Amino acid sequence: MRLSAMIAAAVLAVSVLCSAAVDAKELWLISKDEAAKPAGPPKVRMAKRGAPTGPQIFIVSPKLDDVLHSPLAVSVHFEPRGNVPVDLASLKVVVQKLIDIDITDRVMPYATADGISIDEAKVPSGEHLVEISVADAQGHRTSEILKLSVTKP
């Protein structure tokens, strides 16, 4: 019994340390090297027939017309449709380039089934298109584009 209590305490200590490390770590949402990669041609978003069925994605901040300086706050809200829960494991976040850059792993610590909340995301100056997509528990996927126009301080 004593050994299992020690193991449980060790697991708890490691999880607390890991969560603190996520909070204290500096987050470059898009690195300078990634920002410098060549842009691809504009992506054509095909309209789907019928009403969308995947979760709704609302970009809360930054607003489209905001003048942005790094670091910046990013807030995205997911809202289920038809009482079908959001499947957080389906979240995909990519920076649109000639060859898209998947940044899902660095965003995931800031994501919940309710959305994404990053208080201070570092982003190099320039224009960046970030596609956020998520599905519900039935596999219905929705995506939105977050446009970041970051100016030098």
Q: How far apart are CA 72 and CA 81, in angstroms?
A: 29
3-state secondary structure of 22: helix
- Count other C-beta atoms under 10 Å from residue 84's C-beta: 16
Phi, psi angles (nearest 5°) of residue 67: -85, 120
**Domain locations in the chain?**
27-150
Q: Say how far apart CA 145 and CA 127 lie, in whole Å.
A: 13
**Which pTM value belongs to this model?**
0.78
CATH class of 27-150: mainly beta
The three-state secondary structure class of 118 is: strand
The pLDDT, as a whole number, for residue 102 is 97
Q: What is the per-residue pLDDT for 16?
A: 35
Could you tell me the pLDDT band of residue 110, with boundaries at 50, 70 and 90? Answer: very high
**pLDDT score recorded for residue 17:** 36
Task: Return the structure tokens found at 12.
Answer: 């708890």
Model pLDDT for residues 124-138, shown as the tens digit of each residue: 999 999 999 999 999
